[in-house]
Amino acid sequence: MPLLTTKGLSRRFGGLRAVDGVDFSLMPGEIRAIIGPNGAGKTTFVSLLSGRIQPSSGMVVFDGADITNMPAYKRVRLGVAYTFQITSVFANLTAFDNVALPVQRTLTDGRTKGQVRTGVMEALERTGLADRAHTLAGQLSYGHQRLLEVAMGLALKPRLLILDEPTQGLADSEIDNFIALVREIARSATVLLIEHNMPVVMQLADRITVFNMGRILAEGTPEQIRADAQVQDAYLGATHG
Amino acid sequence: MRDASPAKVYALHIGVILALFALNFVLPDYHQGLFARIMALAVFAMGYNLLFGYGGLLSLGHAMFFSAGLYGAGLTVYHLGWGVPEAFLAGIACGALLALVIGLLALRTSGVAFMIVTMMFAQVFYLLILYFAAWTGGDQGLVIQQASRVVSIGGASFDLTDPTVRYMSALALFSVVLLITLAIVRSRFGRVLVAIRENEERTRMLGYDTTANKLIAVVASGATCAASGAAYALLFGYVGSNFASVQYSILPLLWVLLGGAATVLGPLVGTLFMYYVTDITSGFTSAYLLIVGIALILLVLFAPKGILGTIRQRWLGWLP
């Protein structure tokens, strides 16, 4: 059974059909990449999944339950975590406090201080930020802020982790670590990522969904997508000249 | 809140409380009275700081919560003959209830709209006090007689008009609220509140019902401000509509900004500073408000984070 499905999911902004009747499904445990040209509706689509914006029509089903009208914070508690395209860590809080927020959210029993600390340090260690726990997030380098963003997502113990352009602005050396990190996350969660960096997509994704003009243009394994003529016209051709 | 040992933090705050206790025996009569007033009003500022400093919600209507406490305590004593403890609790209950209702309505807005909505509600509250002058005394207000302001606990009775009893009562309330504020700020709820101030959308996407958290903050803030108002009525024996006017919505904002928003001791420092600048300058010139204004401008220019906010930024990063 799919972890997440959408049926006829649409969102209009005035006359613009940003997402237009999308039927989509995601199997548990897979790493799925969403690609597509700018303005294809990728971010709007994942925002509909996470509940940040409401659909104009259609439905979203997560783990068998209709969550179309569920507020975003409740979806997070169900296990749908979203990390932002534009880095939005809490700049004036320490890295520790940034991660403590999702950790304390997930601690539903035995609420002691030690447990928050344990959960926080675990997430920081997995992302390699443990030695920067008491640095203000705003003073971290950009790459570290992106990692902190992922640490916050991880600390939510998600079943579905949505990453919106996670490698944007990362150096090549940081990207390699990042790929390893996503692979590790995928062992315990389903990962849906929007990504422009094609080598990253080709290395990571089990399947790729291509968006264009608010609709799904193609879907398949990396090899299938690479071979698809339509996709090359709409997207790959444009970037790979 | 950068890696401070809890012991150091609590030592500082308990030290401040002990210093205020000692001041009772040192201060001349006039200053003892002024300090009692400042401590009672610092509670108002602390309540305001909880919502504004930590939660990031700028209300321009907190006079209504202060005066809900003021009238809640004052009117039950004056009309119903209630004792001091019952009246004090009635004042807090009035403030908390009012804050719950106002919060439910006003939190549908944010930013500038929130400022305007809270200010409008406070004006309605002010006009209602004037309208029901038969009970509230209108703009004349009501004086609560000394006989109504005596508390009997066990065999002993305490007269709140006695300067030392009054000072100690104000200090007791101040201490309790200070320590509660400190506990809230260091709690998980405090962390969520700061997160909402910094980035509400992000906080929601971490699974928090931000509206519910803000509502809790509004009620806690309203109840604290009402406790200040109730204490003020009982300690100083006067209940008047000027406490519900817009001036008393602006004052806690000024005190908090001066002392340092989102610092636990800032409200006390700000209230103290403002009272003494006014007090000292009015001794020299009738144009003291001009000097107060200049002092405010200088502070905003050179220490925009307030007195303690600047100290925290420059020297004491661990200050809560």
Over the stretch B191-250, which tens digit does the pLDDT of each residue have? 999 999 999 999 999 999 999 999 999 999 999 999 999 999 999 999 999 999 999 999
Residues 139-198 of B with CB under 8 A from A: 188, 191-192, 194-195, 198
Please list the helix, strand and coil fractions of chain A in percent, rounded to the nearest 5, in that order. Answer: 40, 25, 30
d(CA A126, CA B31): 58
Of the residues A105, A109, A157, the best mutation for testing chain B's interface (the one with the most B CB atoms within 10 Å of its CB) is A105
Over the stretch A150-183, which tens digit does the pLDDT of each residue have? 899 888 889 999 999 888 888 888 888 889 889 9
User: B206 and A105 in contact by Cβ < 8 A?
Assistant: yes
Q: Which of A50, A84, A105 sits opposite B208 (nearest CB)?
A: A105
Please give, rounded to a whole number of angstroms, the shortest distance from the CA of B301 to a CA of chain A. Answer: 22
Look at residue A236 and tell me whether its pLDDT is greater than 80: no
Which residue does chain A place closest to B200, by CA atoms?
A90
- Rounded to 10 degrees, the C-alpha dihedral B257/B263/B264/B269 comes to -40
Domain contains B191: yes
CB B120: neighbour CB atoms within 10 A? 13
Over the stretch A185-216, which tens digit does the pLDDT of each residue have? 899 899 999 998 889 999 999 999 999 999 99
Over the stretch B101-151, which tens digit does the pLDDT of each residue have? 999 999 999 999 999 999 999 999 999 999 999 999 998 999 998 888 888
CA distances from A216 to A3, A23, A94, B237 (A): 19, 8, 40, 73
Query: ipTM surpassing 0.90, yes or no?
Result: no
Contacts of B202 in chain A (CB under 8 A): 84, 88-90
Joined tokens for residue A79:
């296990």
Look at residue B4 and tell me whether its pLDDT is greater than 70: no
Look at residue A241 and tell me whether its pLDDT is greater than 60: no
- Rounded to 10 degrees, the C-alpha dihedral A196/A199/A201/A206 comes to 170
Domain contains B311: no
Contact (CB, 8 A) for B268 and B16: yes
CB A95: neighbour CB atoms within 10 A? 30
Which residue does chain A place closest to B194, by CA atoms?
A93
Contacts of B195 in chain A (CB under 8 A): 90, 93, 101
Domain contains B216: yes
Look at residue A239 and tell me whether its pLDDT is greater than 80: no
Domain contains B277: no
Region B10-32: mean pLDDT is: 95
Residue A132 DSSP symbol: G
- Domain count within chain B: 1
Which residue does chain A place closest to B209, by CA atoms?
A73
Domain contains B282: no
In this predicted structure, what is the pLDDT of residue B244? 96
Q: Which residue range(s) make up the domain with B202?
A: 6-245
Domain contains B320: no
Please give, rounded to a whole number of angstroms, the shortest distance from the CA of B191 to a CA of chain A. Answer: 7
Domain contains B250: no
Contact (CB, 8 A) for A21 and A215: yes
Strands A31-35 and A16-26: unpaired
Look at residue A229 and tell me whether its pLDDT is greater than 90: no
Domain contains B81: yes
Supply the pTM of this predicted model: 0.90
